[in-house]
Chains A and B, each alone.
Chain A
Amino acid sequence: MISEDVYRKVHPKEYLKRFIDKDVRPDGRAVSTARYLRLTIGSINTAVGSALVRLGNTTVLAGVNATLIRPNNANPDKGIVEVSVELLPTASGESRNVRGEEAVVLAEFLRTLIIPHIDVSTLCVEADKLVWCLSLTVYCIDHDGNLEDSVVLAAVAALRNVRLPTVRMVDGDEGGDIENGIENTRMIDADNEAEEGNESIMAVVSSKRTESLELDNFPLTVSFQLFCEKALIDPSAEEEVVCVSRVTFIMKPTGDMRGILKEGGHILSPKLYNSCLAQSKERVKEYMKKLQAGS
């Protein structure tokens, strides 16, 4: 007779199956119960927008940096948004290569979801001269499964939290005469690679950050793992190791479905699909409640 802990390690699949057959999961949740979500918005005050998501033990921190840069020539009136995801060594003891791969996949997933919803033309200060470059970085601090949903939610919350300072362009000569009020910090375009004949750009940046980002109809995701003809909502790390069929429902904030993402694995029956969709709608309501409470 082997002990439970050993059985869990040696036969993870059978271990999970015994639970799921009885409609309960190893951490005590029902198959259709997601973990408790904690959302803290604006906790990093050095970032222009930030959010911390805790989904059970899974912890994800997203922050947005803003810098003023010269636009690139192809799109002189559009700002730039960079998205990156990092899986920190604090999140899992895996080697750097394994973590790197996982992070790249997550970043690509997030990028395709988020980028189309940001109107980059609103990030333009003056065409051809100065635009905002927002870099969104999502750090996975603790990995206990379902990083996908947490990363997307953290990114959305952080972007919604973004408050940019107002910027006023000034001429190069005028720059010296600017009233040096407490409210104003003078700032020279940092992109000073100053080619010949390219006059430096000066702008006054207010120290108060007021302008928020237009981000409507943002995406929210709800993920399931298929196992034994059942769909486990919000899978934990232990379940993710055993199950190989992830289904991600991409939802609108209103609760309507926008898309679905399924990368192979078991077949999703129409009955299961409908039940997943219904659960996703409920879950999105929960997300929205937390998003609205936090901001």
Chain B
Amino acid sequence: MAPPPKRGRGGGARGLEYISLDGLRVDGRLHTEVRKIRCSLGTLSRADGSAYYEQGNTRVLAAVYGPREPTGRDFEHDKAIVKCEFSTAMFASTARRRTWKGDRKSTAAAIVVQRLFEGVILLAEYPRCQIDIYVQVLQNDGGTLVAAVNAACLALINAGVAMSDYVVACSVGYVDNTFVADPNSLESGSDRPELTLAITPHSGKICSCQLVSKLADDASFESAMQYATAGAKQIFQVLEYEVKKYSLGLLDSRGMVAL
């Protein structure tokens, strides 16, 4: 792990100090600390699996339909296909910029989520089927892709789709010469490097890793990865706890376990 952050130079675009004298960030977190996570499974009635996921002020809803008959023409005779749609609510961020379904950013995020889960879902279990993952961002405070991946993972678990492991994502930003885990929208400006990492927590494998913009010369990629992995493990604890709680609740409602 990198040395604790020194006092930053401050003077960002808004004249803000991202790290205070005490080493705390703008929202009072430590540099290794992820935002507060709240999530729940099975929030929607129509979908086969669904999850609501909140990471700080970023709020995301994921729904899974399937495994079901392919809606389109394409299918694979020996495995399932995964489709993903990602959209952002009009009022998700205060910026004027408008997003719509199928804009470049959403399409890129959708493809990341789709590829990621193609690697983890046991596709051969469901030949000639289609699994649809829909992600809706309700409020955006940075890290929507991270939230989308984690929410989609919960929704897939809720739908009972066979997967080899959880997938947990976490991002790392770089402000004031130090890495910060799970940056919010203030800390992840467009020109700053940000690493988004998705891992399978049990086997520790890397599912997806994206670095946008370039790291400063004095920042090592390895330590960024360490921050991201540590962050993902924090998030995984929450997800696992929530899944266990939900499953126990289900078992209890069927009288199969006494809580």
Contacts and interface: CB of A to CB of B under 8 A. Distances in A.
Interface string A16-30: 000000000000000
A135 interface: yes
Contacts of B61: 90, 141
Interface string B46-72: 110010000001010111010010010
B132 interface: yes
A88 B136 contact: yes
A239 interface: no
B192 to A, nearest CB: 21
B40 to A, nearest CB: 13
Give the most central of A65, A92, A143: most B CB within 10 Å: A65
A44 B45 contact: no
B136 A93 contact: no
Interface stretch (A45-53, A122-130, A281-289): A45-53
A141 B141 CA distance: 20
A77 interface: no
A59 B85 CA distance: 20
Contacts of B92: 46
Contacts of B59: 44
A57 interface: yes
A221 interface: no
Given A46-B139, A61-B138, A93 B47 contact: yes
B91 A46 contact: yes
A66 B111 CA distance: 31
A59 B68 CA distance: 24
Interface residues of A, number: 29
Interface in A88-111: 88-93, 95
Contacts of A50: 91
Contacts of A144: 45-46
A144 B44 CA distance: 10
Given A139-B89, A141-B61, A90 B47 contact: yes
A153 interface: no
B190 interface: no
A190 interface: yes
Contacts of B139: 44-46
Contacts of B91: 44, 46-47, 50, 63-65, 137
A93 B46 contact: yes
Contact of B138 (A44, A93, A95, A142): A44
B203 interface: no
B93 interface: yes
Interface in B137-156: 138-141
B26 to A, nearest CB: 14
A50 B136 CA distance: 16
B134 interface: yes
A46 B90 CA distance: 10
A93 B65 contact: yes
A67 B96 contact: yes
Contacts of A190: 96
Contacts of A92: 46
Contacts of A57: 44-45
Nearest to A133: B96
Nearest to B52: A141
A135 B136 contact: no
Residue among A63, A67, A135 having the largest count of chain B Cβ atoms under 10 Å: A63
A139 B136 contact: yes
Contacts of B62: 90
Contacts of B94: 46
Contact of B71 (A65, A95, A142, A237): A95
A50 B138 CA distance: 11
A277 B21 CA distance: 65
B221 to A, nearest CB: 33
A67 B62 CA distance: 29
Contact of B140 (A46, A67, A93, A141): A46
16 contacts: A45-B57, A46-B91, A50-B91, A63-B89, A84-B90, A88-B136, A90-B63, A93-B68, A93-B132, A137-B89, A137-B90, A141-B61, A141-B136, A142-B44, A142-B46, A144-B45
The 8 closest A-B pairs by CB, nearest first: A63-B91, A47-B91, A90-B63, A57-B45, A89-B134, A137-B90, A142-B44, A93-B65
Given A92-B46, A93-B68, 7 more contacts: A88-B87, A90-B47, A90-B136, A93-B46, A93-B65, A141-B61, A144-B45
